[in-house]
Amino acid sequence: MAIDFTISPGSAAPIFKQIADQVRLAVSAGKMVEGEALPSVRALAEKLLVNPNTVAKAYADLAADSTIETQAGRGVFVGRRRQMYTKAERHRRLKPHLDALVTEGLLLGFTVEELTAAIAARAEQLLPQEPK
């Protein structure tokens, strides 16, 4: 299934990260599977009305953590999902997001229980079919 890419130019997140995160979301949710093709750099740039370099940067970001694989002259494809990091590294990579959610959540007045419930709810929403 193809992604319906959208960007919000006024957002705090940079455009290339918005694009990359939409791909990560789709892969994480199982909407895109291994080997599936992504739109070409130029095609996506044209659709989103951004510079091709910006899309290329998003794809480079995704290739850096093996979410996708680029084959020069052929295109861009979803990579194989694999456990590539050690346990310590996985926690280290999760921590910034954990910190951001907890500090923002507490500042907004959410309780710990509300936050954990929100996590569980969002995860259920993303993984209704429990992909392996």
Partner DNA sequence: GTGGTCTAGACCACA
Partner DNA sequence: GTGGTCTAGACCACC
Q: Which of 4, 8, 10, 72 contacts DNA by CB under 7 A?
A: 72
Minimum gap (Å) between residue 84 Cβ and DNA: 19
In the complex with its own copies, which residue's Cβ is closer, 47 or 63? 63
Sign of CA dihedral 104, 109, 113, 117: negative
Q: Is 3 in the site for DNA (CB under 7 A)?
A: no
As a whole number of angstroms, the distance between CA 114 and CA 104 comes to 13
Instruction: Compute the distance between CA of residue 75 and CA of residue 38 in angstroms, rounded to an integer.
Output: 8
d(CA 42, CA 119): 36
Question: Would you count residue 22 as binding DNA (CB under 7 A)?
Answer: no
With respect to DNA, which residue has the nearer C-beta, 47 or 115? 47
Which residue in the set 23, 27, 76, 78 belongs to the binding site for DNA (CB under 7 A)? 76
Q: If binding is defined by CB under 7 A, does position 56 make contact with DNA?
A: yes
Give CA–CA dist 13/121, Å, rounded: 24
User: How far is C-alpha 96 from the chain's CA centre?
Assistant: 15
Q: How far apart are CA 61 and CA 67, in angstroms?
A: 9
Partner from its own copies, DNA, none binding residue 6, C-beta < 5-8 Å depending on class: none
Contacts to DNA by CB under 7 A: 14-17, 38, 40-43, 50-51, 53-54, 56-57, 59-60, 63, 70-76
